[in-house]
Amino acid sequence: MNDMRLTERDVNTKEIKIEARQVQVFYGTTHALKDVDVEIEDKTVTAFIGPSGCGKSTFLRCLNRMNDTIDVCRVQGDILLDGEDIYDKRVDPVQLRAKVGMVFQKPNPFPKSIYDNVAYGPKIHGLARTKVELDEVVESSLRRAALWNEVKDRLDAPGTGLSGGQQQRLCIARAVATSPEVLLMDEPCSALDPIATAQVEELIDELRQSYSVVIVTHSMQQAARVSQKTAFFHLGNLVEFGETSKIFTNPEDPRTESYITGRIG
Amino acid sequence: MSDASLSGATPAPKAKSSLLTQTALVRKRHRAGATLRWLGLAAISVVLFFLAVLLWSIVSRGVPALFQYQAQIELFYDPAILNPDGGDVDPAEIGGINLRTGFERGIFTNSLRQTLVEAGIDIEGTVERRWVAEAVAALDAAGLTGGGVVVEAAGAPADAARVFGQAGSALRAAATALSGDDADAALAARDAAAQALTDVGFDDAAATVAAIDAAGGADAVAALAATGYQQALLDAAGALRQPAQFDDAALSALIYATNRRDVRDRLVDNPDLVGTSETVGVPIDIAVTRYLSGELSGVGTAQLPPGFDIGQLSLVDAMVEADLVGNSFRWHFFTNPYSQSGEIAGIGPALMGSAYMMLVVLVFSLIFGVAASIYLEEFAPKNRFTDFIEINIANLAAVPSIVFGILGAAILFTLMDLGFGNSIRGTALLGGIVLSLMTLPTIVIATRASLKAVPPSIRDAALGVGASKVQMVFHHKLPLAAPGILTGTIIGIAQALGETAPLLLIGLSVSTGAALLSSPFSGGLLEQAQSMPTVVYLFAQNQDAPVREGLAQSAILVMLLLLFALNILAILLRRKFERRW
Amino acid sequence: MGAFLTFPVVLLVIFVLAVAGYLLGYRRARTLSEAAPRSMHSRPNQHGWHVVFATVAPAVLFIIVWVFSTGVVSNIYANAIIPDELQDVQVPLQQREGLTEREIEIREEVLRTQFVATVKGLAVAIDGYIANGNANEADIERWRADLAPLQDRLRADGQVVRSSVTQGMLTVAQDLRRFNARMATAGPLVALALTVFGFVLALRAISLDFRARTVVERWIVGFLIFASTMAILTTIAILSAITVPSITFFREYGFFNFLFGMAWAPAGDVAGIPEGRDGQYESVLGFLPLIWGTLYISLVALLVAVPLGLLAAVYLSEFASKWARAWVKPALEILAGVPTIVYGIFALITIGPFLQAVVGATVMPNTVSVMTAGVVMGMMLVPFVSSLSDDVINAVPQAMRDGSLGLGATQAETVTKVILPAALPGIVGAVVLAASRAIGETMIVVLAAGALSNVQGLEPNPFGAVVTVTTRIVAVLTGEGSGFDSIDVLAVFALAFTLFFITLGLNLLAQRMVAKYREQYD
């Protein structure tokens, strides 16, 4: 669509939000992710690309410890959020996830009203003391997710009744409502049609103003469109990580080049 | 902590909070979460505790009840008793004798007496010693020491009883007089009571009574009562009167009631027994059994087996000492039919009846269940009729079992109308059919699930090589689904095995029906039958508490073991043949 | 010939012909196919099976239909041949006073029903008497002149003759016997004819072009369809079994008298003809005390089962370790597999005395009570509720959990704020299903709720004994002398009728709820 934009975009050196060092992930006896080192910057969109099963989603789920819910999954190495190891024994995943929000591949609104969906996070985290405050949070979140105008007259309607693109934006609003510092998105557009995808992509670019966004995608065009940094995963290895423009125009690793030119994947 | 971020389109940077320390809110949230967790754990604990109590109450009562105390007695078929006129003993005549005439009682009593004497037990003496000990104990407890000497001196216990009784009466008279208005009479009565005690030989007690202030009124009455002499003397007198009341009936009661059919039946079977003797183990009365197994201590009225006294228990003790009584496994429990008498009651016909019924259920519900499932899963068009069938099956699975009982009763009445008459009532065939109809939905549901689990590729492959639909189902899908069907069937049968209510309504609990079964393993599909759960019901309604609480649990134990066996079989089959596609 | 040609004989013939048919058909087809290899449509064994089906199926089908329809037909016949002017079926003049035409009509109908039952009984008695070799047909006709000796003779032979025999009765009974005899001869004859017909036709049909396989498969599918209608047949049978006597009862006693009666006091309990003809019954048969007892116990049971079952399900599906699940689930399954009579006895001898010891004999005079039965029934329902809830909770998609956890909710918040609300319709369905079970549960209440045969009003004390619908059904229908002729027995069918429709309603409701709930996530 606007592939050319990436070359125009300048990337400032910003403060590092998440730093991963020598991360290993095992599913039972399978070594799913090997020696991953990544630095994710604040107020930047970082894209993870790679063929299916390469470990990009697994790594993403490590960043807010969603892998904890899988019994057989073990994580080794350090992942630092603002310099603190999120796998430290003292870290409460609940508190971590409030800081590192997540949007999933398939839109998964709760079977509640649109309002309750967005208000869920603020309510459990105690972010609003009064109904008025809560209303404000819901409205601002929906506005930030570019959904407000479409749903403001039917906030009591069930969230599951929205269209696919709207549902995904509702999920983004839901994640935004908890005021996270990092937003993880696991192939957020794979279940959407091109128009909805464009809306969400635009939204991601907006969100970059406030958050550090990490997006997993299998679409290279999407990565090129929305991200400033790109990491290429292949067979559980982080092959290459760098400026998006560099990865797409002048990759260092031959595997990256093969993938980008469509020879593997 | 993050108020600033709540307003405005772009949130201001929040105050950084470290991940390494839990905020108060998060701690509170975790505490609330832990409550739910603990509640869940508590719920499960309650349920498991209940299960444990349930199983324990069955095992702790059922297992001991499977053992029975038997007395080894040399049974002498005395012609003198069998035919008091001295003539020949005619077995046919004996067979016709009413049980109540008690000629067996004579045989049992004499044989038991003889056996005890041969074992060196002094029957009357044992009983007497026990009662005397009881009397002395009562006196001692009240501080009237030396009672034993008095009894010995009196010669017969009955004489001692009179002496004690008189003293007791004097004390009672004194108590009455003391509570009256007449001071002189009170004084006289007190002294008379003291004198009576002195006469018996209780000098200390006499002094105590004499010291009571005759003008004390209510206080004096209380003081007298506090000594406990009156009660002790009267109790002792009562105990000492007992040996004189011991007779043959009291002796034979230990074994008789349960075994009274025995002698007659044996003689009818084998007339040659007349005049001979044989050593047989006869069950001890079930009430005494509880004493023997230590459930009752024999001390105090509440701890005595109902209908027995300590004199009889002393005989039981003597028999145990002489090795005449042994505790043995109740094998006949598994072969005998149900009976009101716990000592000989069993579950033989019930086991057979249940087996017959399970056979009917297996054949009937397997054939019809599998056929129905195949149709619904493979052939049925998607239309209203099919939906109607499905709704019906789902509903039948949830219809209360008693309603199936009504259906069974209706089938029963219909069959009776059709000329089968009353003979169809309570038969294994009828029971089996009713249970099959109940089990059908279970099997249909299980079968359809396992047919569904066979991947469509098998179906496509079979149809692809030119098999017809019927061939595809019977040659490919059915064999692959068989283990699942089998497992479902076994579970359905296990359910049917424990079903009670419908069987009650078609006449399986009728205890007269049980009497029809003379031999444990007689009967077939078309005979009056019993089943495990209905025999449990009969046991539970028995008039004797030991049977209700003991043997009922034994029968339950057997039934539960059968159920476990079936379920384990199902689990093993599932493990062995489980297939992941 | 008629005497020898009975259904067992016919069945034997059918079996022999079927075996012979398979062998003959197989050989014939084989000879044909050897003569013309590969040009035969069906294989020899398929031809063999075709003969078997053609021999067996029509005849067996006919026999089944015949056996079940003869009773009905003979009933209709008996009804039809009763002369209208027969005194036995008319309300005597002195009792007609003060009755409307409609009431007389109803009573006459009841009289007719009773008369038919009596006549059928008499016919059976006479059949039995003759079969025992005591007399022949002519004797019976000769004895007609004086009925009392006939009655005594029958009774002496051990035949059941309930009421005294009248001339009208004997006439109708004899007529009915002749009719039954004709039916009994005709049935086997037709069956035999069908068998032979099918056998011959199928053997003659064997040819190169005959599509035996298709026909056999059609037979098989036919059987499959028949088997799948068993469920419908069972439902119809249940309905007719409870509806017909219930309607008779409602017409006799009055639907609303029954439904809103505050006392249950059957006069004769089981036996005896009620005082029906002047409109007054000694029996008082009100539904309310019974349904009160049933619902009271069910309520206690649900109060025990629902919280425990739900909490257990939540714990097992969301919190428990793998190890705990592996041990607790089978334990719950054991609890679910224990027959209800075991629970009943447990309630009777363990829980009842325990409760009595706790609350005291003044509050709880008997060991049987609402609480005794209710608590144990609740425990019985725990695995039921928990396994249904477990299914429902597991049907909530993982995405919901991830969504909630990903927002930083704790496990417990996810359960209470997302999963349970999402699963609510399904859980309510499970609770309704459990309620239906509790209402229909029999053995626990029979043993542990109380066994009064007379109840006045509603027992408010949870530690008092009550009577339930199912208890009454068991008490009356296990009595030995039951039949359809007593109002007390008819009332029990009315109880079954209401029980069936209450549980049916609850089941349908629950199934709808669960189905709707599942559709949401499929």
Query: Structural domains in chain A?
Result: 12-260 (3.40.50.300)
Q: Tokens for B491, please give them.
A: 């579970």
Between C68, C217, C416, which is nearest B470 by CB? C217
Instruction: Select from B523, B333, B293, B323 the least CA-distant residue to B428.
Output: B523
Give the type of residue at C248: T
Strand partners, A67: none
The reported pLDDT for the residue numbered A142 is 92
pLDDT of C292 reads 93
Task: Check CB contact of A216 with chain C, cutoff 8 Å.
Answer: no
Nearest CA in chain B to A91: B20
DSSP 8-class letter at A245? H
User: For chain C, what is the mean pLDDT?
Assistant: 83
Residue C193 scores a pLDDT above 60: yes
| Rounded distance between C-alpha atoms, residue C502 and residue C512, angstroms | 16
> CB of C306 within 8 A of CB of C434?
yes
State how far the Cα of C229 lies from the Cα of B386, in Å rounded to an integer: 9
C182 and C66 belong to one structural domain = yes
Strands (E), C424-497: 455-456
Domain that holds residue C103: 7-249
Domain match, C134 and C242 both: yes
B33 contacts in chain A (CB < 8 Å): none
Neighbouring C-beta atoms of residue B551, cutoff 10 Å: 29
Please report the pLDDT score of residue C92 as a whole number: 72
Sheet strand arrangement including B277-283: B277-283, B67-76, B325-329
Q: Is C286 within a domain? A: no
Picking from B26, B27, B30, B36 by the largest number of C CB atoms within 10 A of its own CB, the best residue to mutate is B36
- Chain B residues within an 8 Å CB radius of A209: 10
Subunits touching A (CB < 8 Å, at least 3 pairs)?
A: B, C
Looking at residue B580, the DSSP 8-state letter turns out to be -
> Which of A80, A140, A176 to mutate: most B Cβ within 10 Å?
A140
Least confident of A175-179, B220-224, C86-90, C338-342: C86-90
Which residue of A43, A78, A125, A206 to mutate against B (max B Cβ within 10 Å)? A125
Nearest-Cα residue of chain A relative to residue B32: A124
Residue C35: is its pLDDT beyond 60?
Answer: yes
CB neighbour class for A213 (10 Å; exposed up to 12, middle 13-18, buried from 19): buried
Q: Which of B458-462, C71-75, C311-315 has maximum average pLDDT? A: C311-315
- CB contacts under 8 A, C 355-384 vs B, are 379, 382-383
Number of structural domains in chain C: 2
Q: What pLDDT does B520 receive? A: 42
| Chain A residues within an 8 Å CB radius of C399 | 104, 106, 108
Q: For strands A16-27 and A30-41, give the pairing.
A: antiparallel
Q: Is the dihedral of CA A59, A62, A68, A74 positive or negative?
A: positive
- In this complex, do B413 and C316 lie within 8 Å of one another by their Cβ atoms? no
> What is the spatial distance between Cα C493 and Cα C160, in angstroms, rounded to a whole number?
24
Least Cα separation, residue B244 to chain C (angstroms) = 39
C518 has pLDDT over 80 = no
The mean per-residue pLDDT over the stretch A38-61 comes to: 89
Q: Tell me which residues of chain B have a C-beta less than 8 Å from any C-beta of chain A.
A: 2, 5-11, 14, 16, 18-23, 25-26, 29-30
* Separation of alpha carbons B405 and C483, rounded Å: 15
Query: What are the pLDDT digits (tens) for C358-369?
Result: 998 888 888 899
Chain B nearest-CA distance from C93, in A, is 33
> Residue range A28-46: average pLDDT?
89
Q: Does C522 touch chain A (CB under 8 A)?
A: no
Phi, psi (5° rounding) for residue B72? -85, 115
Q: What pLDDT is attached to residue C274?
A: 43
Q: Lowest-pLDDT range, B91-100, C60-69, C408-417?
A: B91-100
Give the H/E segment covering residue C499: helix C487-521
Token code pair at residue B233: 């003397």
**DSSP tag of C363:** T
CA dist., res. B94 & res. B99, Å (int): 10
This prediction's pTM? 0.79
pLDDT on residue C277: 41
Instruction: Give the CA distances from residue B407 to residues B436, C236, C246, in Å, rounded to whole numbers and listed in that order.
Output: 12, 10, 14
CA–CA dist C495, B442 (Å, integer): 26
Judged by a CB distance cut-off of 8 A, whether residue B408 touches chain C is: no
* C285 inside domain: no
C260 is a domain residue: no
Closest to A187 (Cα-Cα) out of A97, A98, A106, A84: A106
Strand order in the sheet with C263-265: C284-285, C263-265, C455-456
Q: What is the pLDDT of residue B464?
A: 86
DSSP letter (8 states) at residue B119:
T
Nearest to A102 among C401, C406, C413 (CB): C406
Assembly ipTM:
0.86
Is the pLDDT reported for residue C385 higher than 90? yes
Chain-centroid distance, C-alpha B234: 39
Helix (H, G, I), strand (E, B) or coil at C251: helix
Quick one: average pLDDT of C208-237?
87
Q: Is C401 on the interface with A (CB under 8 A)?
A: yes
User: Are residues C377 and C228 located together in one domain of the fold?
Assistant: no
C-alpha to C-alpha distance for B454 and B581, rounded to whole angstroms: 8
Q: Which residue intervals of A66-163 are DSSP H helices?
A: 93-99, 114-125, 131-144, 148-151
A151: which residues sit within 8 A by CB, 6+ positions away? A114, A142, A157, A162, A166, A170
Between residues C33 and A115, the one the model is more confident about: A115
pLDDT band for A265, please (50, 70, 90 cuts): low
Q: How far apart are CA A73 and CA C212, in angstroms?
A: 60
Establish if A90 touches chain B: CB-CB under 8 angstroms: yes
Q: Across the 581 residues of chain B, what is the mean pLDDT of every consecutive 10-residue run?
A: 39 59 85 91 94 94 86 81 68 59 75 86 85 86 79 80 86 83 81 84 81 76 81 86 82 75 72 79 80 77 79 85 83 82 81 88 90 91 88 88 88 67 72 91 90 87 85 88 88 89 79 43 64 89 82 93 90 76 57
Name the helix (H) or strand (E) containing C449: none
Domain harbouring C324, CATH code: 1.10.3720.10
The answer, for A87 touching chain C at a CB cutoff of 8 Å, is no
CA B490/CA B572 separation, integer angstroms: 11
Q: Are B533 and C341 in contact (CB under 8 A)?
A: yes
Determine the pLDDT at residue B91: 63
Phi-psi map region of C364: left, alpha, beta (phi>0 left; psi -120 to 50 alpha): beta
Q: Between C322, C407, C422, which is nearest A178 by CB? A: C407
Residues A236 and A167: their CA atoms lie apart, in Å, by 31
Which pLDDT value is given to residue A14?
Answer: 67
Per residue in C79-126, pLDDT (tens digit) is 888 877 777 777 777 767 666 777 777 777 777 777 887 787 788 778
Residue B525 has what pLDDT?
67
User: CB-based burial of residue B149 (10 Å sphere; 0-12 exposed, 13-18 middle, 19+ buried)?
Assistant: exposed
Nearest chain A residue to C418 by CA: give it. Answer: A110
Give the distance between the most distant pair of CA atoms in chain C: 98
Choice between C72 and C499, residue whose per-residue pLDDT is larger: C499
Nearest CA among C259, C256, C250, C255 for reference residue C288: C259
Examine the domain organization and report whether C195 and C304 are in the same domain.
no
In a domain, C312, yes or no: yes
The DSSP symbol for B12 reads P
Q: Tell me the mean pLDDT in the region C27-56.
A: 83
Q: What token pair was written down for B439?
A: 């089990």
Contact yes or no for C22/C46 (Cβ under 8 A): no
Interface of B with C in 443-472 (CB under 8 A): 444, 468-470
Rounded Cα–Cα distance for residues B577 and B444 (Å): 20
CB atoms B367 and C332 under 8 Å: no
Q: Does C276 map to a domain?
A: no
Task: Tell me if residue B120 falls in helix, strand or coil.
Answer: coil
Higher pLDDT residue, B403 or C127? B403
Q: Which of A95, A124, A137 sits opposite B6 (nearest CB)?
A: A137
Partners of B376 on chain C (C-beta within 8 Å) are: 228
Q: Do B30 and C410 touch (CB under 8 A)?
A: yes
Q: Is residue C133 part of a domain?
A: yes
- Could A143 and B9 be called an inter-chain contact, meaning their C-beta atoms sit closer than 8 Å? yes
Please indicate if any CB of chain B lies within 8 Å of the CB of C241. Answer: yes
Buried b (16+ CB within 10 A) or exposed e, C482-517: bebbbbbbbbbbbbbbbbbebbbebbbbbbebbeeb
| Res. A83: pLDDT tops 50 | yes
- According to the model, what pLDDT value does residue B55 have? 94
Residues of B in contact with C511 (CB under 8 A): 391, 394-395
- Of B331, B336, B402, nearest to B535 by C-alpha is B336
Q: How far apart are CA A57 and CA A36, in angstroms?
A: 13
- Identify the CATH assignment for B349-577 out of 2.40.30.10, 1.10.10.10, 1.10.3720.10, 3.40.1410.10: 1.10.3720.10
Residue of B nearest to C315 (CA): B40
A206 CB near a chain B CB, below 8 Å? no
Residues of chain A found within 8 Å of residue C322, distances taken between Cβ atoms: 71
B354-358 contact pairs (CB < 8 A, 24+): B354/B497, B354/B531, B354/B532, B354/B562, B356/B428, B356/B429, B356/B432, B356/B523, B356/B524, B356/B525, B356/B529, B357/B428, B357/B431, B357/B432, B357/B435, B357/B496, B357/B529, B357/B531, B358/B432, B358/B493, B358/B496, B358/B497
